[in-house]
Structure 1
Amino acid sequence: MGSRDEAQPSVAQDPFAAAAQPLLLPPAADLVDPSASSPPSPDEDSYPPISYHHGRRPIRDLPALLLFLLLSLATFALGIAAVARRNPAASHASSFVYDRSTSSCVLPSSNSFSSSSSSTFLKDLIWTLVVTLLLAGPIALAVLWLLRHYAKQVVYASIPFFIVIPSFLNVYWFVACAVGHDCRHAFPLAYRIIVLVFVFLLIGIFLWIIVANLHRIELTIQIVRVAATALANNIGLLAVLPLLGIGLLAYFSPIIVFLVFSTWNGRVVPREVEGTSKEYYKCVWKQESWVPAYFAIAIITMIWSAATLMEAKVYVISGTVAQWYFNKEESRPTKSIRSSLRNAFGPSFGTVCFSGMTVGVVRVVRAIVDSGKQDEGARGFINLILKCCANFVLAAIDFVNKFTIIFAAITGEGYCSAATMTYELLRRNLLSAVFVETVSTRILIGIIFVLSAFYAIAVCAILRGISALGMEMYFVAAFAWLLLIVVLGYFVHVLDNVIDTIYVCYAIDRDKGEVCKQVVHEVYVLLPVSRNHGSSVNRSSVIP
């Protein structure tokens, strides 16, 4: 190892070297070769070596699993009872009239018929969305290939469009509204100018953020390239994960049916209308008292199930990528996705349910906090402070949960044990869990935004040539843009999970002084390290 001056060349001498430097570069004396051995500290002796658990895993977090199964069984059992006890009169309760002779509500004999016709707009919209959905998969694979082989070119080619496209759309709507008669009269010129200036102000803020983070672009490109390589070596994930989403929809379908039929449990009863000069009754539908309670149980089950499936996807991604990372052979590990699925929905399903419960509670509490009304004056200010504190705590819990489920997928530990061991792992190696490169996520989102915008422009051009749509053409293109950006956004979410998983795997490598993937160490060694701890803990980073 050379001196600090030799290890860190001056930015003035080499301006391009700054982009490759870590944000908080550890001292050169602390970066040692993996072959060099250092005596373990007393704190490190109490922790067993961490590695991927390939063997049979014990069942973890059984109480969370049993609670989830009990809630699901209750939802289905009560739902089946609701279907069996439904009252067909609920579908036409508004047609009942009060019969004074019997003092009850009766259904008069009447028939009604209604029909609807499809429009050109609906036909073109459906076909456009179907074609977009079919093309979304190949587009995602093309983006993955480009990020793996030409990440630098893609990133630098996309950055200008982060500004150009919003600016073009801002000017376009202003001119189109000025030309259009209805828009010009409905939207006065002063308001149009205010909106135009405000949007340009937001674009200027975004431009400032890009310029302020230019020094991190090179490191971000390397991180994205490594993650794309890992995902390309486990390309089956892009086929398996959507199937899990389809499975969730299949699981939700009967619950939705049960919820609909549960509202049919009741009867039509007469109710006296107050405020009339003489006695007058109308017929209303009265639900049974247990229906609201069933709605609460079913909604809790659906929220927990959706959160659990999302955590199961993270578990499968983490387990699969970890097997690829720790595989020191040239060939890919076989049946890695299958083993991850077996662990996620087998012995570790209780841990996944525990994590899903945590995520579900955080989402519900955050929704309650965000929808809370604020009073005026001092009380409103206090509520605002409490709201900010609550959001900070919820974000911290959500963040810790993300790394916990990744660690559980690698080691097979229970939820609480995985949370503790993850913190200790990062602390011992002076790694900051406030990881990285939120810049990488923003750049990826920007890239899919640009691609989706170009796709929407192409849709507009095609519809203009082959369709008779007028202004509705823009709405069809907007829906196509939204659908494509949702699909590609899910692809970015998978890539983000791959980045976080590799980060934890890299931390495990540092902890053991090993190098399982040399290319990963070449990039991740440049990431920030935590300086919240003393120098007594040895840092065994690797400089290849």
Structure 2
Amino acid sequence: MSSSDQPEPSNSATEQPLLAPSASYSDQYPAPISYTHSPRPIRDLPFLLLFLLLTLSTFAIGFLSLARRNPDKTLVSHFTYNPSLSSCVLSQSLPSSSLSFLSSSPLLEFLIPTLLITLLLSFPITFSLLFLLRHFAKHLIYASIPFFILTPCFLNAYWFAACVVSAGCHKAFPLTYRIVVLVFVFLLIGVILWIIVSNWHRVQLTIQIVQASAAALAENIALLLVLPLLLLLYALIYFTPVVVFLVFATWNGKVVPRGHKGFYKCEWKEDRWVQWYFALAVIMLLWSAATMIEAQVYAISGTVAQWYFTPEVSRPKRSLRSSLRNALGPSFGTVSFSGMVMGAVRLVRIVLDAAKQERELRGCITLILKCCADFLLSAFDFVNKFTINFAAITGEGYCSSAKMTYELLKRNLLSAVFVETVSTRLLAGIVFVISSLYAVLVYVILRATSSLNTEPYLIAALTWVLLMAVLCYFVHVLDNVIDAVYICYAIDRDRGDVSKDHIHQVYVQLPKNRNQGSSLV
């Protein structure tokens, strides 16, 4: 059997051994690729040590900044220059400190309960969305597609009409600018419509992919419960302390006189090491955030892979726990290496996008440099696309995972860049529609039950942002499940095996390279 042949699905596939070798496997590797159970060897140890060293340095210097903080930072305005001492001295008369309490406002009275209710409702909404995608994906997607256009059209027309009626908005926002914004938004809606029409032939395949991945996520529902807790722990244990250290690092310094034309005033001067600590702390914040994202992808891929390669008659035990133990244990060097690469790529992309707005960046040389940078960043994306997914399955290091993933997909004529990006766009559209309808419902309820004026707009917008964030996280998890299942399917093809027959029936329809269209067209 050649590497390009497609395996014939059969019910007897589940009766084969989980790690059965295949005679068609490439001679380059001594054994077929399969899920590697614990214990796993430590990988990418230098990056693990570098991450730990920089983290310890960040926290150690942060605690030192707390101990050496100068309270004069908050009293700079009360310092005056003393000519006889040639220095700044604290004024004798200081304003008495008094506690000021915020008076209860109607906005806070309705905002806090509304946000809490939205946060509580976001959980049943998320699980209901997962249920619908698993059992009624076709009905949900086809019913939501018209709202991709109708919802932004309604909101665009509504704000324009509401601004005409409102006297304050009418005066603050001239008619010409309102028309420009109205037309611009409608042009964006036209672009969305064009994207939908141009990709319509791929919707049916996308529905099957989303439904199969939703079923895989439902079989591993603990991912939606544990990963947010992991993110919360990261925010409490790492992110919040570093932000506090950054705030108090600015308290390290002293009040010094600054003179200009014989006139002196007192200003705060930070110690020289503060700016270097800021650089270190910001770099670690970016690296740790990217590493946490990659750790989540690792945990998702490891959990889904254990479910995928387990026969239908049984269920994997403690799959999420073992995946998290591997991600934060022997493979943490690989995870931090991947986080460093992805964080650097995203940072460079942000810098390049910002540089495109600068007028100075013109000319042939600048254009060539930008093209080279875009090429290199695309190459990094190309290599890193499924690297962490493969590492989660096999326990290999970052570089070997990148190489083996590329060769795995090349041997089986599969695209190294997942072609069905329509699934992400459709899911994002569904999330936008659900969040918008919920925000409109909140606005209507507040209008009917309260005497607020313009505050319902703000409250509805904040509830939209909150629900959108929760549902986008759900889409992020589902997207990673799609990628993990794709790699598992590629491993199955490489071994000539069929671990999950219903997955093969869907993923076998994917284009075998970027130039081919879908077999459903």
TM-score after normalising by structure 2: 0.91
**Aligned pairs (5 A) from 1:295-310:** 295-310=278-293
Amino acid at match of 2:202: R
Partner SS for 2:311: coil
Structure 1 runs not aligned, ≥5 long: 1-28, 534-544
SS of corresponding position for 2:130: helix
* Structure-2 residue corresponding to 1:258: 245
Say if 1:64 and 1:354, in contact at 8 Å, map to a contact too: yes
Which residue identity does 2:173 align to in structure 1? F
Q: State the partner residue of 1:20.
A: none
C-alpha contact 1:57 1:412 (8 A) present in aligned 2: yes
What per-residue deviation string (whole Å, max 9, x for no partner) do you get for residues 164-191 of structure 1?
Answer: 1111112112222222223333434344
Equivalent residue for 2:511, pick from 510, 524, 528: 528
1:379 is paired with a residue of what secondary structure?
Answer: coil
Structure 1 residues 176, 385: CA separation in 2 closer, same or farther (over 3 Å shift)? farther
- Pair 1:160-2:135 in alignment: no
SS in 1 for 2:265: strand
Structure 2 residue aligned with 1:33: 8
Distance 2:239 2:346 in 1: 19
Residue correspondences, number: 501
- Distance in 1, matches of 2:65 and 2:362, equals 45
2:499 is aligned to 516
Match runs of 1:399-418 below 5 Å: 399-418=382-401
CA deviation profile, 1:5-28 (whole Å, cap 9, x unmatched): xxxxxxxxxxxxxxxxxxxxxxxx
Aligned sequence identity (%) = 63
Contact 1:430 1:531 in 2 (8 A): no
Taking the aligned partners of 2:515 and 2:158, their CA distance within structure 1 comes to 50
Flag the 1:399–1:117 CA change in 2: closer, same or farther, 3 A: farther
Residues 269 and 187 (structure 1 numbering): CA distance in 2 closer, same or farther, change over 3 Å?
A: closer
**What's the offset of the Cα at 1:77?**
1.1
AA at the equivalent of 1:158: S
| Mapped partners of 1:62, 1:48: distance in 2 | 25
Deviation at 1:84, TM superposition (A): 1.5
**Equivalent pair of 1:34/1:513 in contact (CA under 8 Å):** no
CA contact (8 A) 1:374 1:383 kept: no
Does the C-alpha gap of structure 1 residues 91 and 186 become closer, same or farther in structure 2, counting only changes over 3 Å? closer
Which secondary structure does the structure 2 equivalent of 1:425 belong to? helix
Please report how far the alpha carbon of residue 132 of structure 1 lies from its aligned counterpart in structure 2 after TM superposition: 1.1
Q: CA deviation at 1:458?
A: 0.8
Say if 1:374 and 1:380, in contact at 8 Å, map to a contact too: no
* Contact in 2 for aligned 1:328/1:516 (Cα 8 Å): yes
DSSP 3-state at the match of 2:386: helix
Measured after TM superposition, the shift of residue 136 of structure 1 is 1.1
Query: Hey, what does 2:95 align to over in structure 1?
Result: 111
Structure 1 residue 438 corresponds to structure 2 residue 421 = yes
Q: 1:146 aligns with which of 119, 129, 132?
A: 132
Paired residue for 1:358?
A: 341
Give the Cα separation in 2 of the matches to 1:372 and 1:86: 37
2:223 paired residue number? 237
Structure 1 range deviating more: 466-475 or 240-249: 466-475
Q: Which moved more, 1:524-533 or 1:345-354?
A: 524-533
Rounded Cα–Cα distance in structure 2 between residues aligned with 1:355 and 1:501 = 16
Aligned equivalent of 2:470: 487
For 2:63, which of 56, 80, 93 is the aligned residue? 80
CA RMSD of aligned residues (A): 2.4
Q: 1:474 to 1:85 in 2, by over 3 A?
A: same
> Residues of 2 paired with 1:61 and 1:177: CA distance?
58
| Separation (CA, whole Å) in 2 of partners of 1:358 and 1:76 | 23
Aligned counterpart, 1:224: 210
CA distance in 2, matches of 1:456, 1:77: 45
Structure 1 residue 267 and structure 2 residue 254: aligned? yes
Q: What is the Cα deviation at residue 506 of structure 1?
A: 0.1
Residue 381 of structure 1 and its aligned partner are, at CA, apart by: 6.1
| 2:381 alignment counterpart | 398
What residue in structure 1 maps to residue 163 of structure 2? 177
Q: Deviations over 1:24-64 (max 9, x none)?
A: xxxxx9445368999748x5454531000013100000000
Q: In 2 relative to 1, CA 532–44 (structure 1 residues): closer, same or farther, beyond 3 Å? A: farther
Distance 1:476 1:388, change over 3 A: farther
- 1:461 aligns to 2:444 (yes or no): yes
Hey, what's the Cα distance between the residues in 1 that align with 2:49 and 2:361? 46
1:334 is the counterpart of 2:320: no
Compared CA separation, residues 200 and 371, structure 1 to 2 (3 A): closer
1:275-326 residue CA offsets vs partner (Å, 9 max, x unmatched) = 3xxx332111111111111111111111111111110000000000000000
Distance 2:358 2:445 in 1: 51
**Change in 2 beyond 3 A, CA 1:47/1:191:** farther
Q: Secondary structure at the match of 1:285?
A: strand
Q: Secondary structure at the match of 1:218?
A: helix
Amino acid at match of 1:259: L
Task: For residue 218 of structure 1, report the CA deviation from its aligned partner.
Answer: 1.1
With over 3 angstroms needed to count, the CA separation of the structure-2 counterparts of 1:84 and 1:438, relative to structure 1, is: same
Q: Which amino acid aligns with 1:233?
A: E
How far apart in 2 are the matches of 1:38 and 1:247?
A: 43
Amino acid at match of 1:111: P
What amino acid maps onto 1:127 in structure 2?
P
Displacement of 1:66 in angstroms is: 0.4
Q: TM-score, normalised by structure 1?
A: 0.87
Q: Secondary structure at the match of 1:111?
A: coil
**Which aligned pairs between 1:4-43 and structure 2 lie closer than 5 A?**
30-31=5-6, 33=8, 40=24
Q: Structure 1, residues 64-115: CA drift from partner, whole Å, max 9, x if none?
A: 0000000011111111111111212112122111223433222223124462
Q: Answer whether contact 1:314 1:497 (CA < 8 A) is retained.
A: yes
- Rate the CA distance shift 1:522–1:258 in 2: closer, same or farther, 3 A: same
Determine if contact 1:374/1:384 at 8 Å carries over to the other structure. Answer: no
Q: Distance in 1 between matches of 2:163 and 2:514?
A: 54
Task: Note the C-alpha offset of 1:384.
Answer: 4.7
Query: What's the counterpart of residue 124 of structure 1?
Result: 110
The 1:232–1:172 alpha-carbon spacing in structure 2 relative to 1, beyond 3 Å, is same
- 1:450-508 CA-partner distances (Å, limit 9, x unpaired): 10011001100111122221112111101110111111001000000000000000000
The answer to whether the 8 Å contact 1:231/1:495 transfers is yes
SS in 2 for 1:97: strand
How far apart in 1 are the matches of 2:498 and 2:348?
42
Cα distance in structure 2, aligned partners of 1:378 and 1:487 = 39
Q: Deviations along 1:124-183, whole A, 9 cap, x unmatched?
A: 222222211111111111100110111111001101101111111121122222222233
Q: 1:65 to 1:38 in 2, by over 3 A?
A: closer
Letter in 2 for 1:432: S
Contact map agreement 1:315 1:409 (CA 8 A) in 2: yes
Alignment partners' CA distance in 2, 1:484 and 1:382: 45
Deviation string, structure 1 residues 177-216 (Cα, Å, up to 9, x no partner): 2222233334343443333333222222221221222211
1:454 & 1:220 partners in 2: Cα distance? 24
Answer yes or no: is 1:204 the counterpart of 2:190: yes
